[in-house]
């Protein structure tokens, strides 16, 4: 089976401001089992030091019925802010390419079906020092609706001109 996906299903939650790393709520989340997806900074969150996108897998291999956790963070500049109309999470594409079965699955981190139409003239660029960012935490199995059969996957996450390296994970 081959999945061809361009548009995703909207996750339940919207973007939320980050909480301080190592906060009580973040630690409690880790201890109690995190609910996916969410858009908070958590202890496992990566921290890009310049515009770009970084992700960390919760493990290299995930047991059956265990969430395949992906922790991500992004920072973008004014040019990308204009390009994505301030909706960066809707531009973050998570793509998994199976190695042991014929499946490719891709989904935006967040979809918003009712975004306003693109204005005929782009808004002015913000200050060159403009930076904005956020976090996302997903269960890859659930978010990408990966099939319930064992396979190894390659994973790439992109946001406009920014992309991660190609990572590997396995679903048992």
**157 within 8 A of 92, measured Cβ to Cβ:** yes
Q: Which of 145, 142, 139, 141 is nearest to 171 (CA)?
A: 141
Work out how close the CB of 30 gets to other proteins at its nearest, in angstroms, rounded to a whole number. Answer: 30
Work out how close the CB of 113 gets to other proteins at its nearest, in angstroms, rounded to a whole number. Answer: 12
Q: Which of 120, 113, 106 is nearest to 4 (CA)?
A: 106
Work out how close the CB of 22 gets to other proteins at its nearest, in angstroms, rounded to a whole number. Answer: 32
Sign of the dihedral defined by the CA atoms of residues 148, 111, 96, 138, in that order? negative
Which uninterrupted H or E stretch holds 83? Answer: helix 78-84
Work out how close the CB of 52 gets to other proteins at its nearest, in angstroms, rounded to a whole number. Answer: 13
Q: Residues 79-98: x/- map of binding to other proteins (CB under 8 A)?
A: ----xx-----xx-x-x-x-
Q: Residues 117-136: x/- map of binding to other proteins (CB under 8 A)?
A: --------------------
DSSP SS3 for 26: helix
**25 within 8 A of 17, measured Cβ to Cβ:** no
In the window 26-65, what residues touch other proteins (CB under 8 A)? none
**155 within 8 A of 94, measured Cβ to Cβ:** yes
Stretch that binds other proteins, among 24-32, 55-63, 125-133, 155-163 (CB under 8 A): 155-163
Work out how close the CB of 89 gets to other proteins at its nearest, in angstroms, rounded to a whole number. Answer: 10
Q: Which is nearer to other proteins, 130 or 154 (CB)?
A: 154
Give CA–CA dist 127/163, Å, rounded: 24
What does the binding site for other proteins look like in residue numbers (CB under 8 A)? 2-7, 83-84, 90-91, 93, 95, 97, 99-100, 102, 104, 106, 108, 154, 156, 158, 160-161, 163, 166
């Amino acid at each position: 089976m081959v999945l061809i996906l361009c548009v995703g299903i909207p996750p339940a939650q919207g973007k939320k401001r980050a909480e301080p790393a190592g906060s009580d709520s973040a630690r409690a989340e880790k201890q109690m089992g995190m609910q996916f997806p969410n858009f908070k900074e958590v202890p496992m969150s990566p921290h890009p030091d310049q515009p770009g996108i970084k992700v960390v897998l919760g493990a290299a291999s995930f047991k059956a019925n265990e969430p395949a956790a992906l922790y991500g963070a992004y920072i973008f500049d004014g040019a990308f802010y204009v390009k994505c109309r301030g909706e960066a999470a809707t531009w973050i594409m998570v793509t998994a390419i199976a190695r042991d079965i014929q499946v490719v699955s891709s989904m935006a981190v967040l979809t918003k079906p009712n975004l306003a139409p693109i204005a005929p003239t782009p808004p002015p660029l913000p200050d060159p020092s403009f930076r904005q960012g956020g976090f996302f935490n997903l269960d890859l199995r659930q978010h990408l609706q990966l099939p319930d059969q064992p396979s190894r996957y390659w994973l790439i996450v992109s946001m406009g001109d920014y992309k991660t390296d190609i990572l590997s994970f396995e679903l048992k």
